[in-house]
Amino acid sequence: MNPNPAQGVLYIVSAPSGAGKTSLVKALLKADPAIRLSVSYTTRAPRPGETDGRDYHFVNRERFEMMLAEGEFLEHAEVYGNFYGTSKGSIGRDLNAGRDILLEIDWQGADQVRQHFPQSASIFILPPSFSALRTRLAGRGQDSDEVIERRLAAAAHDVAHADAFDYIIVNDDFVQARRARGGITRSIRLEAARQFKRHTALFEEFRRI
């Protein structure tokens, strides 16, 4: 990264279904309140326990299509008949205000986001093995065998694009993966340009000697 130290950091996190991305992201947000989760728009109905404005901005298809036509989305995708999109203006305003933002997104969306925000830090989370991923998906008890096979095929396709990301974490041990994720954020915050900005008075003090 070649950071603009006055801006916040945009973290892009991608993973195949079942790799543990959501659990890692929740643990990071809990441990690091300085990072805010970007809330996407979707046309799907809220699931039990989900809250509008916290988990997603739930909108109808007409509203989504209007926003799309007006160029409001940084990226968008259709998944199983529902649309999802990320607000370009919202992320830009947060970054310019110096806020760190985390965006959970698939590899295609990540590619679109990097084109608009090339200074973002992108992270891909891998399961420890293909068989472990199959076990995790089956262990959820949510999907039929047909759906699991479809998700596994999609996972193989996702992993083929992992080399486009800045960092890769293998989620074999959750605690170790969480530490690795925290290490990335700490490393970025210690980049020279950001430290010069953060400790301007200290550097000025030494220049006067």
Q: In terms of Cα–Cα distance, which of 169, 165, 185, 187 is closest to 177? A: 169
State percent of the chain over pLDDT 90.
56
CB 16 within 8 A of CB 124: no
Residue 71 contacts residue 87 (beta carbons within 8 Å): no
Tens-place pLDDT, residues 80-94: 789 999 998 889 999
pLDDT digits (tens, 9 = 90+) for 54-71: 889 999 999 999 999 999
The sheet carrying 35-37 orders its strands as 35-37, 100-104, 10-14, 121-126, 167-170
What is the domain partition of the chain in residue ranges?
10-38+100-207
- At 50, the amino acid letter reads E
Give the chain's length: 209
Q: Which CATH number fits domain 10-38+100-207: 3.20.20.70, 3.30.70.3270, 3.40.50.300, 3.30.110.70?
A: 3.40.50.300
